[in-house]
A = this chain, B = another copy of it.
Amino acid sequence: MLKTPYLLFLGDVPDPLAAKVATGIHDWRPEHCVGQYRLEGCKADLGLDDMTIAEAKEAGAKTLVVGAANRGGVISQSWRAVFMEAVEAGMDVAAGLHDHLVDIAELKQAADEAGTELFDVRVPQVKYPIANGKKRTGKRCLAVGTDCSVGKMYTTLAIDKAMKAAGRKSSFRATGQTGILITGEGVPLDAVVADFMAGAVEWLTPDNDADHWDIIEGQGSLFHASFSGVTMALVHGGQPDALVLCHEPTRTHMRGLPDYELPSLEALRDMALSLARVVNPACEVTGISINTAGLSPEDARTYLKEVEERMGLPTVDPFRDGGERLAEGLTG
Interface residues on chain A, number (Cβ under 8 Å) = 40
A202 to chain B, nearest CB (A): 9
Instruction: Across the interface, name the chain B residue whose C-beta is closest to A254.
Output: B133
In the complex, the answer to whether A199 meets B223 with C-beta atoms within 8 Å is no
**Within A227-280, which residues are at the interface with B (CB < 8 Å)?**
227-233, 236-237, 254, 256-257, 259-260, 263, 271, 274-275, 278-279
| A132 contacts across to B, CB distance below 8 A | 225-226, 256-257
In the complex, the answer to whether A194 meets B191 with C-beta atoms within 8 Å is yes
Instruction: Across the interface, name the chain B residue whose C-beta is closest to A219.
Output: B194
In the complex, the answer to whether A195 meets B199 with C-beta atoms within 8 Å is no
The answer to whether residues A279 and B225 also contact, given A190-B194, A195-B190, A260-B133 and a CB cut-off of 8 A, is: yes
| Of A132, A192, A195, A275, most B-chain CB atoms within 10 Å | A195
A201 to chain B, nearest CB (A): 10
Which of B223, B226, B274, B278 touches A225 (beta carbons < 8 Å)? B278
Bound together, the chains give a CA A130 to CA B271 distance in angstroms of 23
Interface string of A117-159 (1 = CB under 8 A from B): 0000000000000111111000000000000000000000000
Interface string of A178-214 (1 = CB under 8 A from B): 0000000000011111110111000000000000000
Bound together, the chains give a CA A259 to CA B278 distance in angstroms of 11
Bound together, the chains give a CA A197 to CA B193 distance in angstroms of 9
Bound together, the chains give a CA A175 to CA B222 distance in angstroms of 21
In the complex, the answer to whether A133 meets B198 with C-beta atoms within 8 Å is no
A192 to chain B, nearest CB (A): 5
The answer to whether residues A230 and B191 also contact, given A135-B259, A236-B225, A279-B225 and a CB cut-off of 8 A, is: no
Which of B130, B195, B228, B275 touches A198 (beta carbons < 8 Å)? B228
The answer to whether residues A198 and B223 also contact, given A257-B133, A259-B135, A271-B274 and a CB cut-off of 8 A, is: no
In the complex, the answer to whether B133 meets A229 with C-beta atoms within 8 Å is no
Bound together, the chains give a CA A233 to CA B274 distance in angstroms of 18
| Of A229, A237, A279, most B-chain CB atoms within 10 Å | A229
| A133 contacts across to B, CB distance below 8 A | 225-226, 254, 257, 259-260
| A225 contacts across to B, CB distance below 8 A | 131-133, 198, 236-237, 278-279
Name A residues whose Cβ lies closer than 8 Å to a Cβ of B.
130-135, 189-195, 197-199, 222-223, 225-233, 236-237, 254, 256-257, 259-260, 263, 271, 274-275, 278-279
